[in-house]
């Protein structure tokens, strides 16, 4: 049952949504359940040495997610988009408009969260890869989605997916933390510039969510910290006031809320969804 009936018929694009059990999939399915017409995008295949197979939303996965949305009574399509490619982003906007008639919601979810290294160990090409996808990709999404929304003249919602690293610094995550801090600035500037067009721009800042990527991060930081997996996870639970890491559904709920009319007077916010762990 829809919680936000005003979302029925809205057209939403979610980038980086082609991996099953990922945040993008959860947001796509929640918006579809609210009645949105959803366009799921991902890069479809490896495009560089910095996109390992395990981090890619392949075309068959994208199509499976679309099929599951349709089986549940929703409406969805898949479209291949590399957010580093300006033409791909514009083509995605055009696809949404040509397929469904408009563009009302854009969610910048695509990101690199697996090149976690210290400043001393980070290579320049790795740094560029992280900032490229996480920040340039979000910038292009904001730019082209907003241009379409301004053209339509009826406002819209842009949601950037940040991180706890948008607020607090983490060792061994130099490029990632920098990119997510930068997303705060992008979100706030876009909110200022686009407010007169009735476009709300907000950011969701999750703490750790054990997606497929999250499981890799658990293993990686368990090794880096020397704690072992069980101790690392126990320490995580103990520092979160609500006693557990985040779930994909927690982020999907926040996304649906920010896309709804209930959040019509909220813009420029970098909203923590962290069980109380992050309070900046």
For the chain, give the secondary structure using H, E and C. CCCCHHHCCCEEEECCCCCCCCHHHHHHHHHHHCCCEEEEEECECCCCCCCCHHHCCEHHHHHHHHHHHHHCCCEEEEEECCCCCHHHHHHHHHHHHHHHCCCCEEEECCCCCCCCCCCCCCCHHHHHHHHHHHHHHHHHHHHHHHHHHHHHCCCEEEEEECCHHHCCCCCCCHHHHHHHHHHHHHHHHHHHHHHHHCEEEEEEEECCECCHHHHHHHHHHHHHHCCCHHHHHHHHHHHCCCCCCECHHHHHHHHHHHHCHHHCCCCCCEEEECCCCCCC
CATH number, residue 105: 3.40.50.720
The whole domain housing 79 covers 5-209+247-273
pLDDT at 49 exceeding the cut of 90: no
Q: Could you tell me if residue 192 is inside a domain?
A: yes
pLDDT of res. 57: 76
Q: What percentage of the chain reaches a pLDDT higher than 70?
A: 92
pLDDT at 64 exceeding the cut of 90: yes
pLDDT of res. 11: 99
Q: Could you tell me if residue 230 is inside a domain?
A: no
Which one of 10, 117, 157, 180 is the catalytic residue?
A: 180
Q: Could you tell me if residue 47 is inside a domain?
A: yes
Active site residue 279: no
Which one of 100, 144, 176, 232 is the catalytic residue?
A: 176
Q: Could you tell me if residue 256 is inside a domain?
A: yes
Domain tally, the chain: 1
Q: Could you tell me if residue 222 is inside a domain?
A: no
Active site residue 70: no
pLDDT of res. 254: 98
Q: Could you tell me if residue 221 is inside a domain?
A: no
């Amino acid at each position: 049952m829809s919680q936000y009936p005003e979302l029925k018929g809205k057209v939403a694009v979610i980038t980086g949504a082609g991996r099953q059990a990922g945040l993008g999939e959860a947001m796509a399915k929640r918006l579809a359940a609210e009645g949105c017409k959803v366009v799921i995008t991902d890069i479809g295949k490896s495009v560089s040495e910095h996109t390992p197979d395990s981090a890619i939303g392949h075309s068959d996965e994208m199509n499976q997610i679309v099929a599951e949305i349709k089986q549940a009574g929703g409406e969805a399509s898949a479209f291949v988009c590399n957010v580093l490619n300006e033409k791909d982003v514009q083509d995605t906007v055009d696809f949404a408009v040509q397929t469904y008639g408009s563009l009302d919601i854009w969610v910048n979810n695509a990101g690199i969260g697996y090149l976690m290294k210290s400043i001393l160990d980070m290579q320049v090409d790795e740094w560029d890869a992280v900032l490229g996808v996480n920040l340039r990709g979000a910038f292009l999404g904001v730019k082209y989605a907003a241009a379409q929304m301004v053209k339509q003249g009826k406002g819209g919602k842009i949601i950037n997916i940040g991180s706890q690293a948008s607020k607090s610094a983490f060792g061994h995550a130099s490029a990632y933390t920098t990119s997510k801090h930068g997303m705060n600035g992008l979100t706030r500037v876009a909110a200022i510039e686009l407010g007169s067009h009735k476009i709300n721009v907000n950011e969701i800042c999750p703490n750790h969510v054990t997606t497929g990527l999250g499981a890799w991060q658990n293993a990686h930081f368990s090794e880096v910290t020397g704690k072992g997996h069980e101790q690392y996870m126990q320490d995580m639970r103990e520092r979160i006031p609500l006693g557990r890491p985040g779930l994909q559904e927690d982020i999907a709920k926040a996304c649906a809320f920010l896309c709804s009319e209930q959040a019509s007077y909220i813009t420029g916010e970098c909203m923590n969804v962290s069980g109380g762990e992050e309070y900046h």
